Chain A
């Protein structure tokens, strides 16, 4: 029964995709609003069924497991895996997707490629649902790639804009680069034992101790690489800010709540493998470094969506750090709460853009009185992100910081320090964003920006639109209300730490999630440290007050040249983008490698061709002289060949 529902959950978005892309597009044209309603209907079905699955956990070991490929000794099975981790992810994905569909009904109204948008949306939702439900790592990889493709299609949705196309390409190629590691690990594990690609079997094998540490280490390195690519961790993080070229609702769905969490989900899913290997410290350090540098880059950005993108990267770093330190349930809990308030923040940003016509915070301000609903939603979600008691963000973030404290040792305390600093910076840039956007007086919006860009002879991007300062339409504000509600209550409701709520046990969420690792016999510690909670809240509140004070009346702080230089460094994203694009791609790759290969191809291989053709031409010309009609030459040839064959016969006995 559960499996049937899971199958329906998986296939229904794909049905929506097909209907939208074929029937609706052909029959009703590309601007029909029917596609939005169809999408919302199908994803609503997925949501309801996911909720039913969540409250009806089933036994993992006898779920659907079909043979996909059976060739001599090669036996690959695909199937479903509905354990607690999956059910939570299903609820997150289908829930946020449903809310974003409703939002898009309003946000994308009037767009030329309305139908295409919704088709891609359901394709994405279906792939993500398939990803979290897959039982075999190879099957997961297939859906992983599908998710990457949908992301590419959606980032480059407005393909007329060259910046969007470039950003889509960059996203796809960077994630693909990480997928190289993923594929390597799949092949490596397959080489070790073909049955180890099945996740349940893998858990059993690791619990029984049949997987050597060396193999686990190398395999998890590859999987880590894939997760780094997909979740925008430190070396491969620069695609996510550029991916904001897509529509805001796309950013809300994909680049805050679902796709980028696929990497974290992968690490969580293969947690036994990672735990068994020796690279947990590497994972934690990558997560820590990522959260730190992303938070610093978010301090100075003027584009509201980019601030949120850096915030996403930073929070993902938190999750990865938690996983690296062994706090499985803390990371998943943070993923759960983060999905809600980050999606809410993005949708608010879209709403702000709808009103003020610009994404540049330098030209916003004073929207508090004009857009009350958006203001309150953004404030609630922002406070939740900052991690202030008693909103949901506080509970999940506090559990992560507590896990660093419990890890102990030099590394644990270092991560604790980094966590607290990042909490401070998160609160700082979040409240910076809120004050720049909503407080003060209105600084012109899209019209002002267009004027200034034109006077500097810079091309005006298409995102700059006209100003109409009023609240967004109903379709756009209802999801904001729902998400803010969850941002307040879901944290404590899901994982109460003091005492049991009405029918929710203490630490219900953590224990529920840890049932996924039952086979692996993982037991996490669940406690509540008052001091640490106080400390993290303190950092957050200080950060928010500092930001509110600084940005009350001005838009920039240029106190002295030091801050100006730091500002410059952060603006240029630590020159990492510069490194990737100019140095590596342009100089090393194009100039050196490609040019030398082109030289080889032109001068060596083509010359070989030319030589061959000339040789055959000359050979043909000279062989022409053999058959000239002269009897003597024919006779010579005949007799000569006769003698030669006799000689060969003699000499060879």
Chain B
């Protein structure tokens, strides 16, 4: 029952997202493209929330919808003539790239429909099912056991998919700690770099006021 509900929901959201992305690509007005892009990001975030990936959905909304879309909109405003550039998109490129993108789509579809994805729906082992969706407990050797009558109440953990933030946090701080730091380093360097690039493009105060 719930799986069919999720399916229908996902179909609706997916079609919404597809329409948005088509608007992004086909619109001649740059602003409309930017708005449609942020809406697309929102749809994707909704999909994340439906797949028990709450943390990532939050990150998506924060980063993409909140920062990147705003960034795009601002850059459109800041560069002169950006919004009044040539707007026609029909050219030689149209049919060729259309053909290529359709080709890509069909190849991917072919792959999707001919591989046998071993999905969790077909999961049969009760231990794993309990660990993922229901409750589990740990015994002395830190092995996963099914909850039974003797398990004390405070040792019962809920299924991993029910609060997915705990494993993410655990992994980030133990296994992928160094990657985390590296990512921070990358972000800092990007920020510094972008400031360095755009430092000299504003010569005097008059331009600054004009921009603002």
A residues neighboring B (CB under 8 Å): 632, 636, 639-640, 643, 646-647, 650
Contact = CB atoms under 8 A, between A and B. Distances in A.
Contacts of A636: 93, 96-97, 100
A647 B110 CA distance: 10
B171 interface: no
B104 interface: yes
B211 interface: no
Nearest to B103: A643
18 contacts: A632-B93, A632-B97, A636-B93, A636-B96, A636-B97, A636-B100, A639-B100, A639-B104, A640-B100, A643-B100, A643-B103, A643-B104, A643-B107, A646-B107, A647-B107, A650-B107, A650-B110, A650-B111
For the complex, would chain B's binding face be called helix, strand, loop or mixed by DSSP majority? helix
A597 to B, nearest CB: 51
Nearest to A642: B104
A647 B100 CA distance: 13
Nearest to B93: A632
> Which 8 A-B pairs rank lowest in CB-CB distance, beginning with the nearest?
A632-B93, A643-B104, A643-B103, A646-B107, A639-B100, A640-B100, A643-B107, A647-B107
Contacts of A647: 107
Number of chain B interface residues as a range: under 10
Nearest to A632: B93
A636 B95 CA distance: 12
Q: Is the interface of A mostly helix, strand, loop or mixed?
A: helix
Interface of B: 93, 96-97, 100, 103-104, 107, 110-111
B110 to A, nearest CB: 7
Contacts of B110: 650
Contacts of B104: 639, 643
A643 B99 CA distance: 12
Contacts of B93: 632, 636
Contacts of B97: 632, 636
B98 to A, nearest CB: 12
A639 B101 CA distance: 9
A373 to B, nearest CB: 107
A636 B103 CA distance: 12
A335 B93 CA distance: 96
A650 B97 CA distance: 22
Contacts of A643: 100, 103-104, 107
A377 B104 CA distance: 108
A640 B96 CA distance: 10
A636 B96 CA distance: 8
A639 B102 CA distance: 12
Contacts of A640: 100
A643 B107 CA distance: 8
A647 B103 CA distance: 10
Given A643-B100, A650-B111, 13 more contacts: A632-B93, A632-B97, A636-B93, A636-B97, A636-B100, A639-B100, A640-B100, A643-B104, A643-B107, A646-B107, A647-B107, A650-B107, A650-B110
A69 to B, nearest CB: 66
A646 B104 CA distance: 10
Nearest to A630: B93
Contacts of A650: 107, 110-111
Contacts of B100: 636, 639-640, 643
Contacts of A646: 107
Nearest to B97: A636
A636 B107 CA distance: 16
Contacts of A632: 93, 97
B140 to A, nearest CB: 48
Contacts of A639: 100, 104
